[in-house]
């Protein structure tokens, strides 16, 4: 019986060899594909390690290249706006709002800087914003504790001019303070005439004093011919001038208190007088100042508000919706306007 020979070498059959070669090629293909993915994935990893265009928080949360890209886009968007000037680096600069007014001026206190304006020096009718200067002159020229013998008939004036009045009757005795409340809250034209007579003797002389006060403030785009603001030739102001004059009123403690009052009972048997400024009690931080209206002037206002140590004075002339316009401008100023006063580091007020 012959012995079977055994060989210790391995020679696979051609069919098996083909299968092995196919498996080997497949393995090499998968390895090559994995190497490509590893190489591609290394790019964003290197970018992240280098700190490319993203915050530390964004880099630590980049699970995919898309997520990292989204984080970087947000970061660039925030940085592109840039910080506002001065100490308000957190506030984003936004364009002023669109409003209906013919002219606008926005001032910041305490430096009196103009942070926004539109047609700010155009000569326009002020309507009852005139009474801001009437009150200023009275405060500076006479003792507010004095009593006044009333000669103006409010009912007759209203019937003749269709103007707002506080309701004066000849023969009454009222304090000058009562007249100022009647002037500034219900916008009484009868109070304006009575104040003019008490301070200067007549309307013409009082208007001259008003114009002298405006010139003293360094303002050149205002001229008055009466103390109440009813439309008249050569009776005009500008958005910038009246904003400055409103700011001057707020520097008078008695007047500032009056324009911030919503309702007042004069020392008479008549009714209380109410403030026509609807921003008081409704707009956060509102402190005054005065509203106005005539057919020619349209709606007008000088509005002021203060928050967090900042104060803005907004003047709006020829408005179709005066409270909406003033609100938009104040909102914009507090939210977006750079602080010119803080940047300048000054307390000097313009045009004084």
| 75-79, 216-220, 315-319: least confident range | 75-79
C-alpha 231/C-alpha 225 separation (Å) is 10
Is 112 exposed, middle or buried (CB count within 10 Å of its CB: 0-12, 13-18, 19+)?
A: buried
| 41-50, 194-203, 240-249: least confident range | 41-50
Residue 201's pLDDT band, with cuts at 50, 70 and 90, is: very high
C-alpha 185/C-alpha 258 separation (Å) is 8
Judge whether residue 59 has pLDDT over 50: no
Residue 84's pLDDT band, with cuts at 50, 70 and 90, is: very low
pLDDT of residue 338: 62
Q: Is 128 a catalytic residue?
A: yes
pLDDT of residue 40: 42
Q: Is the dihedral of CA 245, 246, 251, 254 positive or negative?
A: positive
pLDDT of residue 74: 27
pLDDT of residue 28: 52
pLDDT of residue 351: 38
pLDDT of residue 12: 36
Write out the two tokens for 147. Answer: 């009593």
pLDDT (average), residues 12-20: 39
C-alpha 204/C-alpha 213 separation (Å) is 14
* Residue 157, H or E segment: helix 154-161
Contact status, residue 315 vs residue 246, Cβ threshold 8 Å: yes
| Marked catalytic residue, from 105, 117, 131, 319 | 131
pLDDT: which is higher, 21 or 118: 118
Contact status, residue 133 vs residue 212, Cβ threshold 8 Å: no
Peptide bond into 110 cis (omega under 30): yes
Place of tokens 């109440």: 228
Residue 343's pLDDT band, with cuts at 50, 70 and 90, is: low
Encode pLDDT of 117-158 as tens digits: 999 999 999 999 999 999 999 999 999 999 999 999 999 999
Judge whether residue 46 has pLDDT over 90: no
| 79-93, 104-118, 309-323: least confident range | 79-93
Contact status, residue 274 vs residue 186, Cβ threshold 8 Å: yes
Q: Is 187 a catalytic residue?
A: yes
pLDDT of residue 298: 96
Percent of all residues in the chain with a pLDDT value above 70, rounded to a whole number: 69
pLDDT (average), residues 286-304: 97
C-alpha 189/C-alpha 326 separation (Å) is 24
pLDDT (average), residues 98-115: 90
Q: What is the DSSP string of 78-97?
A: HHHH-PPSTT-TTSPP-PPP
CA 124 vs CA 102, 233, 294: distances in Å: 9, 11, 12
Write out the two tokens for 323. Answer: 């409270």
SS3 27: helix
pLDDT (average), residues 1-28: 40
Q: Are strands 286-294 and 273-274 parallel, antiparallel or unpaired?
A: unpaired
Encode pLDDT of 208-228 as tens digits: 999 999 999 999 999 999 999
Buried/exposed 338-350: b ≥16 CB within 10 Å, e otherwise = bbbbbeeeeeebe
Q: Whole-number mean pLDDT of the chain?
A: 79
Residue 258's pLDDT band, with cuts at 50, 70 and 90, is: very high
C-alpha 275/C-alpha 282 separation (Å) is 13
pLDDT: which is higher, 350 or 224: 224
CATH number of this structure's domain 103-344 = 3.40.710.10
| Marked catalytic residue, from 105, 128, 319, 339 | 128
DSSP letter, residue 237:
B
Judge whether residue 196 has pLDDT over 80: yes
| Marked catalytic residue, from 187, 315, 319, 336 | 187
pLDDT of residue 242: 98
C-alpha 103/C-alpha 263 separation (Å) is 30
Contact status, residue 37 vs residue 23, Cβ threshold 8 Å: no
Other CB atoms within a 10 A radius of the CB of residue 139 amount to: 17
Judge whether residue 235 has pLDDT over 90: yes
pLDDT: which is higher, 111 or 333: 333
């Amino acid at each position: 019986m012959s012995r079977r020979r055994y060989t210790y070498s391995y020679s696979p059959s051609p069919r098996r060899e083909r299968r092995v070669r196919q498996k080997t090629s497949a393995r090499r293909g998968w390895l090559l594909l994995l190497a490509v993915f590893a190489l591609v994935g290394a790019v964003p990893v290197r970018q992240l390690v280098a700190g490319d265009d993203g915050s530390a928080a964004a880099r630590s949360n980049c699970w995919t290249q898309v997520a990292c890209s989204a984080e970087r886009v947000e970061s660039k968007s925030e940085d592109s706006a840039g910080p506002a000037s001065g100490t308000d680096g957190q506030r984003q600069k936004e364009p002023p709002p669109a409003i209906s007014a013919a002219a606008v001026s926005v001032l910041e206190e305490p430096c009196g800087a103009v942070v926004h304006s539109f047609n700010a020096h155009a000569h326009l009718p002020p309507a009852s914003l005139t009474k801001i200067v009437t009150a200023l002159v009275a405060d500076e020229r006479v003792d507010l504790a004095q009593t006044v013998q009333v000669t103006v008939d409010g009912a007759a004036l209203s019937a003749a001019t269709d103007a707002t009045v506080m309701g004066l009757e000849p023969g009454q005795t009222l304090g000058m303070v009562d007249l100022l409340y009647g002037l500034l809250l219900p916008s009484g034209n009868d109070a304006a005439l009575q104040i003019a007579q008490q301070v200067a003797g007549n309307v013409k002389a009082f208007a001259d004093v008003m114009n002298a006060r405006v010139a003293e403030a360094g303002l050149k785009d205002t001229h008055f011919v009466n103390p109440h603001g009813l439309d008249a030739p050569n009776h005009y102001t500008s958005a910038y001038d009246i904003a400055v004059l409103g700011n001057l009123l707020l520097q008078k403690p008695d007047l500032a208190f009056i324009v911030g009052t919503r309702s007042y009972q004069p020392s008479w048997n008549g009714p209380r007088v109410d403030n026509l400024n609807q921003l008081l009690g409704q707009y956060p931080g509102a402190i005054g100042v005065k509203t106005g209206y005539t057919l020619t002037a349209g709606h007008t206002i000088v509005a002021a508000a203060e928050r967090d140590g900042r104060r803005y004075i907004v003047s709006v002339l020829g408005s179709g919706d005066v409270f909406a316009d003033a609100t938009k401008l104040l909102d914009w100023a507090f939210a977006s306007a750079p602080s010119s006063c803080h940047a300048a580091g000054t307390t000097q007020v313009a045009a004084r």
